[in-house]
Structure formats: C-alpha cells, structure tokens
C-alpha cells in the first residue's frame, strides 16, 4: 500500500513538472511586458492576442508590436497550412502503400524494406532536411516549399505506416478473401472492405501527420531555403537579442487550449464508445 502511495505522489510530481512550464507560459501571455515574465507583473493585457487582428494604427502605437511583421507571420502560417495540406494526403498514401507491402508482401526483400522505410523515423531530422535540399538541388529544384514538403513526407509517412500496419495485422486476411470469393473485384474489395476497416486508423494518422507537419522545425529549417513556415517563424523570434515577444506565448496558449479541447473530446468520445459496447 505504501509503495502505491509513493508511486501516486511521484506521478503527480511528474505531471506537475510537465505542466508547470506550460502554465507559466499562459500566465506570461497576459502580462503587459516584453520579453515575457512571470516575476514582474505589469498589468493584465490581451494585446498579445489582439496583435493578430488589431487595426494597423493601434499596432503602430505599440513599441513592441510595431517591430513585428504581422503580414509575414500570417504568410508563414499560410505556407504551413499549404505544406500540411499536401504532406498529409501524400503521407497517408505512402504510409498505406508501405503498410500493405510490409504486411502482405511475403518476400525475402521484406526485411530490407522494413529498414529502408523505417529509417527516416529513426534518422535525425536535420539529416532528412539536408539530404532533400541537396538531392532536389541536384535535380535542379531550388529550396522552398517543395523541398520542405518532400523532406517532411520522408519521415511523416512513417507514422501512418506504423498505425495502419498495426490495424492491418488485426484485420483477418479472410475478409478480403471472402469479398473476392463472393464476386467482388480487387478494387471493390479494397474500397468496400479494407478501406472502411482502416478508416479510424487513417483518420487518427491524418491528425498525427498534420501535427507533425505543422510543428516540424528541425527538418524544415534545413530544407526551407528562403521560404518560411509557422514553426521556423516562431523559432526565428527566439533570436531576438532582447528576448522573444509575448505574442509567442499567446500563440502557445492558443495551441494549448486547442490541444486540451481536442484531447478531452477524444477521451469523451472513447468513453462513450466503450459504454455503447
């Protein structure tokens, strides 16, 4: 019993360690001082949030905010959405193809294929960005959003692959065979039986791929050339010698709120599903 107690306290301490920096970040996002601080309270403000929609005149009046390039920030965010919009479907396609080849293709080369397809997940992110940059430059494609997409897909496709593989291994191969036996063409059997079976896994790996694409910094920094994404732009603000503006904290708080809401929704949905069973 005593050891259970210790374990519970330890777990709570661990969670506190994980959440404390995030809470401090939220607090600092409402403090009217730059760089963000939690030790000197200069009054409650929401201007770090309003930065994104306040009128230009108000923006120009603020000594901290006027140094920031709002248009560029929003442009970079748009780039990120564009990149993710291509990376997610492409990763799902490659991941699905990889999962099917690895689970349903019995061949001696299968073991080798495992190593090749999983190596990007294991490799340091910077190396992937760098090799995409050099490779596409060799083919005459300059660094930019295109190389970012290629570099990201290289490893992001591995996540759907792992998730789909786990799901495919749980699907009895007899389901596909039964469909074929009942007269369905391979395509119909895939679309009608296998794909619906994989749908939940496809959905969750799409979410994972989207998050991975949005937050990726290491790989993107190497492949980006002159372009920017949400993550590299956020990262660039750290290089401000006076410390980063609390706008970052505001963005972080928004991300935390969205994440918590999504996680809660997911947990509740799961609970309802289990109750339904």
Q: Which of 131, 213, 227, 229 binds another protein (CB under 8 A)?
A: 131
Sole window of 41-49, 52-60, 61-69, 131-139 interacting with another protein (rule: CB under 8 A): 131-139
The torsion angles phi and psi of 84, rounded to 5 degrees, stand at -65, -35
Helices (H), the chain: 2-28, 47-50, 56-61, 70-104, 110-122, 125-138, 145-156, 158-170, 173-181, 186-189, 195-215, 218-223, 230-237, 247-276
Q: What is the DSSP string of 44-74?
A: B--HHHHTTTS-HHHHHH-TTGGGS-HHHHH
Query: Footprint of another protein on residues 33-52 (CB under 8 A)?
Result: 35-40
What is the 3 state secondary structure string of 208-235? HHHHHHHHCCHHHHHHCCCCCCHHHHHH
Residue 229's nearest CA partner among 80, 83, 119 is 80
Give the largest CA-CA distance in the chain.
73
Token pair 């790989």: residue: 219
Total binding residues toward another protein, as defined by CB under 8 A? 118
Decide if residue 244 touches another protein (CB under 8 A): yes
Query: Footprint of another protein on residues 248-267 (CB under 8 A)?
Result: 248-249, 251-252, 255-256, 259-260, 262-264, 267
What is the nearest approach in angstroms of another protein to the Cβ of residue 50? 20
Q: Which of 178, 203, 269, 272 binds another protein (CB under 8 A)?
A: 178
Q: Which of 162, 206, 209, 228 binds another protein (CB under 8 A)?
A: 162
Query: Footprint of another protein on residues 91-130 (CB under 8 A)?
Result: 93-94, 96-98, 100-101, 104-107, 111, 113-128, 130
Q: Which of 59, 86, 141, 211 binds another protein (CB under 8 A)?
A: 211
Decide if residue 269 touches another protein (CB under 8 A): no
Decide if residue 166 touches another protein (CB under 8 A): yes
Query: Footprint of another protein on residues 75-94 (CB under 8 A)?
Result: 93-94
Query: Footprint of another protein on residues 141-160 (CB under 8 A)?
Result: 150, 153-154, 157, 159
Q: CA 51 to CA 253: how far, in whole Å?
A: 14
Structure tokens at 139: 């083919």
Decide if residue 65 touches another protein (CB under 8 A): no
What is the nearest approach in angstroms of another protein to the Cβ of residue 120? 6
Decide if residue 7 touches another protein (CB under 8 A): yes
């Amino acid at each position: 019993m005593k050891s259970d107690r210790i374990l519970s306290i330890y777990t709570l301490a661990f969670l506190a360690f994980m959440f404390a920096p995030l809470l401090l970040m939220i607090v600092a996002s409402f403090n009217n001082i730059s760089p963000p601080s939690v030790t000197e309270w200069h009054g409650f403000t929401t201007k770090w949030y309003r930065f994104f929609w306040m009128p230009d005149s108000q923006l120009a009046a603020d000594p901290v905010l006027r140094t920031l390039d709002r248009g560029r920030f929003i442009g970079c965010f748009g780039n990120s959405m564009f990149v993710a919009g291509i990376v997610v479907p492409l990763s799902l396609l490659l991941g699905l193809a990889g999962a099917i080849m690895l689970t349903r293709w019995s061949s001696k080369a299968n073991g080798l294929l495992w190593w090749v397809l999983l190596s990007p997940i294991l490799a340091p992110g910077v190396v992937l960005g760098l090799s995409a940059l050099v490779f596409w430059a060799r083919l005459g494609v300059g660094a930019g959003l295109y190389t970012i997409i290629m570099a990201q897909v290289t490893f992001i496709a591995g996540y759907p692959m792992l998730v789909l593989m786990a799901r495919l291994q749980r699907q009895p191969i007899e389901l596909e065979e039964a469909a074929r036996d009942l007269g369905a063409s391979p395509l119909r059997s895939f679309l009608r039986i296998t794909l619906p079976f994989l749908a939940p896994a496809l959905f969750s790996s799409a979410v994972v791929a989207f998050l991975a694409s949005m937050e990726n910094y290491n790989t993107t920094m190497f492949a980006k050339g002159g372009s920017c994404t949400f993550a590299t732009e956020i990262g660039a603000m750290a290089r401000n010698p006076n410390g980063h503006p609390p706008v970052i904290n505001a963005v972080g708080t928004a991300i935390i709120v969205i994440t918590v809401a999504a996680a809660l929704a997911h947990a509740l949905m799961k609970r309802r599903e289990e109750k339904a069973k």
